[in-house]
Structure 1
């Protein structure tokens, strides 16, 4: 597979990583060293995290710091691989990620992750670090977001060990991490279910 054919797969790898809630909405286009334009913030979350008496999610429950460890990251990518079964693409991740959501309706997303994609004998490695910020709104069972600043987000990529421009990936990253996802939330656990490649993928975070 040549580099031109492999390039779209970089975007797919990015889409999968930030797929802890990829957005369907249009959003600003960041670069690996620039910032997206700043939309006005709005939110329906409130200051006190809580879960309903019956365990049902409320927007208040989202407020706090959430962590996705190696086990949760592996499970998430396994769900991606199941959706993409038969496509010839398989992802394997190493790392973790932290998401912080406040009562004012802003969030930060800090991945520390390497994602390897095996594609018909080609190895694509995408590395994510740093952080990005955005705004979010939430109902009792669904969350959407818009990016604000991506200049601190670090993205590198290689194809078969050769460095390649990650610029195309950044367009997908702008929609991370909770762009448009159904969610459930309890005192300790946040579960996001996102549409990916015609199927759905589930990401699980634990409160810190």
Structure 2
């Protein structure tokens, strides 16, 4: 029978404990290393996703607005607004506070013979007493190239309002630009209650640039 001395047993226990401590320390270091330096696959699981819609800025676009050149035979811009609810047989006298006045604003730039860009080209008017009143247009040079409208107040708001200008090219132009002027008619009653038709020139001009 083998007998072990107490001293031998003590050293055996010390050796076993030492090996156990070494193994435990090694395992602990590996776990700490994994926590401090996670793998790329772990990061991919918790990494937030950034949407391109959120990261990119909003870019606004400015679009040039152009209009087809109207045809005088069938385009309402040469006649007035096609809203018969606005047509009046006459304007009450109390709404007329003086002679008719008008002014022209804006410009027109033709891109091609049948396409133009309007930059606020319109006629603004006040104290027009009847839808039967007329708008007379004059072009400089006066060579019959341009057709302009509207040319009557029928269908337009009265006695005050405004209307965009319609322009078409009738034939080959003799100039690179034209100047538009206008005048409007209105009625004025004298002391004998007789109406006289008068004409008022519009302030301002509209420049038309040819293609």
Give the TM-score taking structure 2 as reference length.
0.27
Give the TM-score taking structure 1 as reference length.
0.28
Answer with 1 or 2: which has the greater Rg. 2
